[in-house]
Structure 1
Amino acid sequence: MGDWNSGLLGCFSNCSLCCFANILMPLTVGTIADVEVGAKQPVLWAMALGAPVCLLALLRTRVRQKHGIEGSYTGDCCTSIFCSPCVLTQLALQNPQVCDTILPNEQDMNRVANEQSS
């Protein structure tokens, strides 16, 4: 059996991802669904705006099944209802491709300073 890359409270380990993922929830849900399940994004973005908790529970179940992670749909529903920001971050951390899509590229200030001094 597989395991989650990050625990349910993994949002505290990557605060920038947690903030971006939850501020841009439709983009995050659409990206996770596209990368993990192969679903089309526009439909899921519309669904994310209308029924985020139900969609999160279903998406968490699909991702969990894909990666062979033990659990149940009931557990996915409960975690999505009571801690949806944590579930969204956990799903985003499950696949590095999702993180790269959601987070803006960080600038290396040392590189810029070195180029200016040359």
Structure 2
Amino acid sequence: MAYQQQQHYQTQQPMPTMGMQVGGGNRNAAGKPLDSNGKREWSHGLCGCFEECGTCCYACWCPCIVHGKNKQRINHLAAKGSPDPDGGACCSGSCWGHCLLTSFLGAGWILQCINRGETRGRYGIEGGGCGDCCTSLCCHSCDLVQVSREIELEEKSFGQRY
């Protein structure tokens, strides 16, 4: 019996480049340059929160709502690869968790810190846990708006209005 040997060739998938969209919308819709580590800066500065007046007001007076919406929107993008059609539910579990931690312990910033880190990871933004904690603790409203605006850029890249 003749034995035929088959050669198996392994091919490598091409790696995504800056203009490619992988698993969702454009995660760098503002076109920020990448550093040597493949990381970038936030699309909007921390003090740019005043440019988004409505979200800024909510973040100042009802931070739990903005946190809950941010968390739901980014989870929907990660799980479904598309924007949340509801724009993030107002009274989600994340919202209530933030509300309770803030009301009884003054520690809602901890959830914000975690969400900020997840957002940085999704969008390849430079930074670390220490910076996330300091930003969430000292500038909690601006943090919420900055995260919201970063998520919004990806949502808008789908070509739909949110």
TM-score, normalised via structure 1 length: 0.72
TM-score (norm 2): 0.54
1:73 is displaced (CA, Å) by 0.7
Aligned equivalents of 1:37 and 1:61: distance in 2? Answer: 13
Q: Distance in 2 between matches of 1:8 and 1:85?
A: 10
Gaps of 5+ in 2: 1-38, 80-87, 102-107
Any runs of at least 4 consecutive aligned residues in structure 1 with deviations exceeding 6 A, and if so which? Answer: none
Q: Do the aligned partners of residues 2 and 36 (structure 1) sit closer, same or farther apart at CA in structure 2, a change above 3 Å counting? A: farther
Stretches of structure 1 that go unaligned for 5 or more consecutive residues are 102-118
Cα root mean square deviation, aligned: 2.4
* CA apart distance, 1:91: 1.0
- For the pair shown, the structure with the greater C-alpha radius of gyration is 2
| 8 A Cα contact 1:22 1:88, kept in partner | no
Percent sequence identity is: 29
Number of residue pairs aligned between Structure 1 and Structure 2:
100
User: Quick check: which one's helix share is greater?
Assistant: 1
Residue 70 (1) aligns with residue 126 (2): yes
Are the counterparts in 2 of residues 26 and 45 from structure 1 also a CA contact under 8 Å? yes
CA distance in 2, matches of 1:77, 1:65: 15
1:3 to 41, 51, 59: 41
Higher RCO, 1 or 2 (CA under 8 Å, sep at least 6)?
1
